[in-house]
């Protein structure tokens, strides 16, 4: 499974990219707004730090303007994935951009039928939002399982399942078990994947025993 980081905070991206765990980045206008930076400049810098796909979202809602914005975003760097909403206009933009050889991430997916449409439109990635479904008492992981089943039925569908709106490590583990291609994680969730109280307890015991020996490796 590939890990993308869901942030526009360049300091966080640099820190986590140094671990070798970051395969890409997803952003949106809200995340960039939190940084207070110029949108295009922030995206360009992220693309320099991370060689994998960097999702940059259009802000238009009509087809013609989405297409214009998408083509402008794609010129920032070769690893840009233009992010469009799962609307009819968004699907039309997805088809046009993907026909131009541009990676497209279709976002705000909440049903398997939407995911099927995005794949047929040539999306590189489909972004189902599991956490937001959980928020309204619908199991978001059921959606991942349904999309995986549908995509696996048809060899011609090359769209990758990019699990979004991840809230905790269990979402990541369940997505991996279901065969999702990508998980896009807030930085705190990626860090939490390494945490376990028994690891901390075991390390503490090892260090105390080592201290008793009075030795040093260096």
Which residues does the annotation mark as catalytic?
83
**Within the chain, what is the greatest distance between any pair of CA atoms?**
71
H or E segment and range at residue 119? helix 112-120
Q: What angle do CA 153, 157, 161 make, to 5 degrees?
A: 90
Q: Does the CA dihedral 57-70-184-15 come out positive or negative? A: negative
What is the Cα–Cα distance from 164 to 2, expressed in whole angstroms? 12
What is the Cα–Cα distance from 126 to 164, expressed in whole angstroms? 9
Q: Other CB atoms closer than 10 Å to residue 173's CB: what's the count?
A: 13
Q: What is the distance between the terminal CA atoms of the chain, rounded to a whole angstrom?
A: 37
In sequence order, what are the beta bridge partners of 125? 105, 160
């Amino acid at each position: 499974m590939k890990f993308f980081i869901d942030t526009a905070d360049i300091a966080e991206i640099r820190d986590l990219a140094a671990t070798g765990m970051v395969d890409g980045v997803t952003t949106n206008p809200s995340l960039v707004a939190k940084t207070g930076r110029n949108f295009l400049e922030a995206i360009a810098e992220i693309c320099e730090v991370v060689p994998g796909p960097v999702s940059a979202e259009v802000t238009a809602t009509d087809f013609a303007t989405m297409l214009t914005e998408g083509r402008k975003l794609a010129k920032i760097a070769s690893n840009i994935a233009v992010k469009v909403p799962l609307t009819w206009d968004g699907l039309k933009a997805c088809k046009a951009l993907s026909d131009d050889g541009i990676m497209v991430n279709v976002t705000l997916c909440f049903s398997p039928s939407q995911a099927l449409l995005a794949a047929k439109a040539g999306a590189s990635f489909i972004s189902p939002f599991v956490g937001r479904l959980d928020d309204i008492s619908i199991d978001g992981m059921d959606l991942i399982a349904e999309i995986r089943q549908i995509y696996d039925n048809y060899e011609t569908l090359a769209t990758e399942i990019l699990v979004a709106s991840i809230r905790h490590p269990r979402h990541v583990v369940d997505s991996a078990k279901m065969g999702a291609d990508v998980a896009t994680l807030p930085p705190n969730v990626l860090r939490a994947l390494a945490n376990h109280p028994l690891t901390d307890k075991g390390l503490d015991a090892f260090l105390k025993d080592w201290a008793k020996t009075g030795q040093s490796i260096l």
